[in-house]
Amino acid sequence: MGIAKGQKCPPDCSCGRHRPHAQRLAEAKEARARKAAKNAPETEKDRKAKRILEKVDGKRPDSFAPGKPRGVVHRYQPHGTCVELFRSRDNEVLFAGPAGTGKSRACLEKLHMMALLNPGMRGLICRKTQTSLGSTALVTFKEHAAKEHLEAGEMKWYGGSPQEAAAYKYKNGSVIVVGGMDKAMKIMSSEYDVVYVQEATELTETDWEAITTRLRNGKVSFQQLMADANPDVPTHWLKVRCDTGKTKMIESRHEDNPVLFEPKTGKITKAGASYMGKLDALSGVRYMRLRKGVWCAAEGLVYEEWDPAVNRYKKILRPPISWTRYITVDFGYTNPMVVQFWAEDEDGRLYLYKELYQTKTTVEDMAPKIVEAMNLKHEPRPRMIICDHDAEGRATLEKHLGMSTRAAKKSVEDGIQAVKSRLRPSEVDGRPRLYLCEDALIHRDNELYEAKKPTCTLEEIVGYIWDRGTAKAQMDGKPPKEQPVKEHDHGMDALRYMIAERDLRSRPRIRSIAY
């Protein structure tokens, strides 16, 4: 019912014509603003966010949608060749380069971003052995790439079971499985959209090809095997794969890591100067690979017979009781003290199955670790503990272990020849008589790792070279010395003591006694 002219509305009227002028103005302004916001053109900021997200898969999770409040905030800026890695949609991509350029971080960041952007995605982080993964990639993932999302409960760590591999499970249904190729059954029964292999040069080509068959989950518009590695020998299967175009190689550089070089100015940072100083102090093949990023072989390798495909053995947790145990020791304090645990099978083959390799540790401190590793409750006593000739070291060790030790046969030349002959596969059964087991190292010495020095015997053997004398001596045409370079050779010495003990000592002759 209308109101006659001149008549006033009652105080509770809702007809709208009699609201105060100021209130009507405010409402109109609000409506105009709402309309404008709806038709507003995209700002540069909105467009940038869209571009970044669409680069990965063309999808956009709600929390990143322009205009909506952001959820968890994680900051990572890829630089230089890392951007190339982020853009790559190749089936196989290797991010290769010298040490510390930010390769692993970039791979893990990409994997995490893809899991967030593609609900239901299945990813895999893997390395040759599961234990090595725990101390490397997973630390970077937990403490950098996924830190904020873990803290906010957007994803959770699932520790796995005897049958099932461990994994990060995201709220959006994505999963990133974690495992080693040494436990292939657990990880290879699933399908994935993207797999990240850390230190891919450790894998065999068969491992690599087995992984490619698992890439068919189809939750992302491309499926990818992404890997990182430091350079190895130029004939390495992975390098050959890149050279023949099967795998795309992106070469990573130190300048791409903002921790080492200021991205804007290109100037080296304080941390960069200290890190690059350590790399500059390396020598030989380690310098070329880890500082310069060159795929090169050590020239004048002592053990040219060493072939990882032949002499590298799978991890042996506990060798059979019937196998004889030996321990060899090379003492050191500034240089690493190396303790090797050997088992000899019924055919006389030797397996290095456990190893302690540590600097700045006294013999007293090392003794309990040796006792623990001997595991005498379940394993037989070693037949012999063979040590280098440090009298004080031997006396201390004997006191703490309650066992006697034996002085090693230290001659270098014939020792090396004996090792070489054991490394060669036998003509009878095609198997060598000397194996170094994967993952024999019990605990990695972080100081050595940070300094990029070998951390175990397996890492020493590939850089153990003959001493060619100084550059001047070579120019003068002096003949090369008959000795290896005395650097990073402590595992090499302990290994030689073992072989010399078995192959170079004259065995007591057994005379038959006539009754």
Ligand X SMILES: Nc1ncnc2c1ncn2[C@@H]1O[C@H](COP(=O)(O)OP(=O)(O)OP(=O)(O)O)[C@@H](O)[C@H]1O
Interacting residues with ligand X (CB under 6 A): 76-79, 99-105, 140, 144, 228, 230, 257-259
Nearby residues of 113 by Cβ (< 8 Å), 6 or more positions away: 56
Q: Kindly give the residue spans of alpha helices, DSSP state H, lying in 257-324.
A: 270-280, 284-286, 308-311
Distance CA 287, CA 310 (A): 27
412 binds, among ligand X, Mg ion, none (CB under 5 to 8 A by kind): none
Q: Kindly tell me which of 104 and 129 has the beta carbon lying closer to Mg ion.
A: 104
Distance CA 256, CA 201 (A): 22
Q: Kindly tell me which of 452 and 490 has the beta carbon lying closer to ligand X.
A: 452
Q: Kindly tell me which of 104 and 311 has the beta carbon lying closer to Mg ion.
A: 104
DSSP assignment of 154-203: SEEEE---SSS-EEEEETTS-EEEEEEGGGHHHHHTS-BSEEEESSGGGS
CB 202, min distance to ligand X, A: 12
Biggest CA-to-CA distance, the chain = 147
CB 282, min distance to ligand X, A: 13
- Give me the count of residues in the chain: 515
230 binds, among ligand X, Mg ion, none (CB under 5 to 8 A by kind): ligand X
CB 448, min distance to ligand X, A: 13
CB 78, min distance to ligand X, A: 6
Q: How many amino acids of this chain bind Mg ion (CB under 5 A)?
A: 1
Q: Kindly tell me which of 257 and 311 has the beta carbon lying closer to ligand X.
A: 257
Phi, then psi, of 138 in degrees rounded to 5: -70, -30
Binding mask 307-346 for Mg ion (x = CB under 5 A): ----------------------------------------
Q: Which two tokens stand for residue 356?
A: 């302690």
CB 196, min distance to ligand X, A: 11
Instruction: Kindly state the helix (H) or strand (E) to which residue 341 belongs, with its residue range.
Output: strand 337-344
224 binds, among Mg ion, ligand X, none (CB under 5 to 8 A by kind): none
CB 257, min distance to ligand X, A: 5
Q: Kindly tell me which of 242 and 416 has the beta carbon lying closer to ligand X.
A: 242
Q: Kindly tell me which of 78 and 432 has the beta carbon lying closer to ligand X.
A: 78
Site for Mg ion in 86-125 (CB under 5 A): 104
Rg (CA), the chain: 32
CB 395, min distance to ligand X, A: 40
At residue 281, what is the residue type? A
Q: Which residue, judged by CB position, is nearest to ligand X in the bound state?
A: 102
Phi, then psi, of 188 in degrees rounded to 5: -90, 0
Distance CA 339, CA 331 (A): 8
Instruction: Kindly state the helix (H) or strand (E) to which residue 368 belongs, with its residue range.
Output: helix 363-374
212 binds, among ligand X, Mg ion, none (CB under 5 to 8 A by kind): none
101 binds, among ligand X, Mg ion, none (CB under 5 to 8 A by kind): ligand X
102 binds, among Mg ion, ligand X, none (CB under 5 to 8 A by kind): ligand X
Q: Kindly tell me which of 195 and 492 has the beta carbon lying closer to Mg ion.
A: 195
Q: Kindly tell me which of 210 and 233 has the beta carbon lying closer to ligand X.
A: 233
CB 82, min distance to Mg ion, A: 13
Q: Is 228 helix (H, G, I), strand (E, B) or coil?
A: strand
CB 259, min distance to ligand X, A: 4
Nearby residues of 158 by Cβ (< 8 Å), 6 or more positions away: 166, 167, 168, 169
Cβ-based burial of 140 (10 A; exposed 0-12, middle 13-18, buried ≥19): middle
250 closest CA partner among 109, 83, 94: 94
CB 203, min distance to ligand X, A: 15
Q: Kindly tell me which of 28 and 139 has the beta carbon lying closer to ligand X.
A: 139
Q: Kindly tell me which of 78 and 382 has the beta carbon lying closer to ligand X.
A: 78
Distance CA 352, CA 340 (A): 7
Binding site for Mg ion (CB under 5 A): 104
